[in-house]
A and B are shown apart, each in its own frame.
Chain A
């Protein structure tokens, strides 16, 4: 029931808002239909990043795809937490783990073992505007532990201008979301997996195109 409501809200409000008002355009969206389970890995500049990736998903996969969110930011108060969980299907993880807390990797791994898909921003935070910061190791660990799961690289160009880090004003600006083909990484070294993931995201941006994530 809740899933149906979310699906309808995305269908009649969020998707049209993103494409008609903001001017988001997708490339290679059909790869999301091909695989049953995947981890979408994308660069992170704006709160709209997750929203636009979820909007690209086929409606039937909405309920099965979870977005990884930091509890110290998105779990600030219970209302905000509920809203984020409702719209993003969020899994809350702790960025600064103390002794005794459940490991974020274990948490996400359990979801993957249950056949769920993930949306992950390995940069960890939105960082400096327009700069791709270093990836956290977590994505490599997850891919290594689940060698059968594909990851889909996604490159988002433009959302840093639509809604940058320290602003709540949403400004319509043309933006692109590009998906790459699903990739499987075998048993390789952690650093290699990380660089494969990073390169596959960077490769999606055409060479001549400007970095639209900063002004």
Chain B
């Protein structure tokens, strides 16, 4: 399909259609269950699914959009996530300048990504902002509690901006190597991350007995984790038509996303525990805040990005080697038979 010169691959349209069909089906089922016998659980389930429909609409917009709109949306989500974490983390008055500088770094990071300056966007937050931010705190001269702020502001910036920005970096991958464009990659990653959460929850409810880390997240069980990772691998194989990966590579990526999703989940859980919060915010009904929903994506996005670039570069290397070997054979043949081009 083509809208205003922007091409949307058929694979993406089919997947989106399937996803929306599924959500609408679940939504209507939960709606009627909730209407018939309303309990706290059914209402929660309905609200959650309804929010999923809106979230899916947002993700679909990113997936079908051209680079500039997709990058803008991801940048805003980054900003909102950062704002949420900054609001709950308990900063000091003396941290305001540093926080403002951190806010200013968000558009810069996405501008660098939009212009494909890869050396800069990989260094900007981890190197430049990490060096600069403490000096905003030092300039204020208030040293009481400065250590916490020095650690916390860069850490939040890392989670909410640098990690999430790997989604936007997917737009920069050479399009000719991708079967469904960069949108396909984002859809693959976000769908796997979301389904991983869902499957870890379902397997945990069905079979979960032994808890992994009850001190941080009492709902995480061993069976849930293993079942989730295996299911995610299977879904990765099914959705592989969105990526340029081979089947084994896709399954491996699925497993990695499953593990990273779990890790991201408990990472944010631990922070919430420390702050005595159940949710980071209440902006998404049934889910909580933006970081409650994006917790897994914080780690799955970079894991997916680096695995993908690794597999792609290996592929390129293999092709180059093959071409090189072919050229060698040809020259030998030419030499033997004295052929002239």
Contact = CB atoms under 8 A, between A and B. Distances in A.
Do the two chains bind?
yes
A57 interface: no
B83 A172 contact: yes
Contact of A171 (B80, B103, B281, B283): B103
Interface in B61-83: 79-80, 83
Given A23-B87, A215-B91, A174 B96 contact: no
A169 B96 contact: yes
A173 B83 contact: yes
Contacts of B103: 171-172
A173 B87 contact: yes
Contacts of B80: 23
Contacts of A169: 96-97, 100
Contacts of A23: 80, 83, 87
B99 A171 contact: yes
Nearest to A214: B93
A164 interface: yes
Given A172-B103, A174-B281, A167 B83 contact: no
Contacts of B93: 129, 164, 214-215
A171 B96 contact: yes
Interface string A143-174: 00000000000000010010010010101111
B86 interface: yes
Contacts of B249: none
User: Which of A129, A161, A164 gathers most chain B CB within 10 Å?
Assistant: A161
B273 interface: no
Main secondary structure of the interface of A (DSSP, over half): loop
Interface in B252-266: none
Nearest to B90: A215
Nearest to A172: B83
Nearest to A25: B283
Nearest to A163: B96
Contact of A174 (B79, B84, B95, B100): B84
A73 B166 CA distance: 48
Interface string A6-32: 000000000000000001010000000
B100 to A, nearest CB: 6
A161 B93 CA distance: 8
Interface string A171-194: 111100000000000000000000
A129 B80 CA distance: 25
B92 interface: yes
B49 to A, nearest CB: 23
Contacts of A174: 83-84, 87, 281
A212 B88 CA distance: 9
User: Which of B80, B84, B93, B100 gathers most chain A CB within 10 Å?
Assistant: B93
Contacts of A129: 93
Interface in A190-215: 212, 214-215
B311 to A, nearest CB: 38
Contacts of A212: 87
Contacts of A172: 79, 83, 86, 103
Interface in A111-139: 129
A215 B92 contact: yes
User: Which of A161, A167, A174 gathers most chain B CB within 10 Å?
Assistant: A174
Nearest to A23: B83
Interface in B97-144: 97, 99-100, 103
Nearest to B94: A215
A212 B83 CA distance: 14
Interface in B233-264: none
Contacts of B281: 174
A129 B83 CA distance: 21
User: Which of B84, B86, B87, B91 gathers most chain A CB within 10 Å?
Assistant: B87
A173 B86 contact: yes
Contacts of A214: 93
B21 to A, nearest CB: 32
A172 B86 CA distance: 9
Nearest to B93: A215
A158 B95 CA distance: 16
27 contacts: A23-B80, A23-B83, A23-B87, A25-B283, A129-B93, A158-B87, A161-B87, A164-B93, A167-B96, A169-B97, A169-B100, A171-B96, A171-B99, A171-B100, A171-B103, A172-B103, A173-B83, A173-B86, A173-B87, A174-B87, A174-B281, A212-B87, A214-B93, A215-B91, A215-B92, A215-B93, A215-B95
Interface of A: 23, 25, 129, 158, 161, 164, 167, 169, 171-174, 212, 214-215
Interface of B: 79-80, 83-84, 86-87, 90-93, 95-97, 99-100, 103, 281, 283
Q: Which 5 A-B pairs have the closest CB atoms?
A: A174-B87, A215-B93, A172-B83, A173-B87, A215-B92
Given A174-B87, A212-B87, 7 more contacts: A169-B100, A171-B96, A172-B86, A172-B103, A173-B83, A173-B87, A174-B83
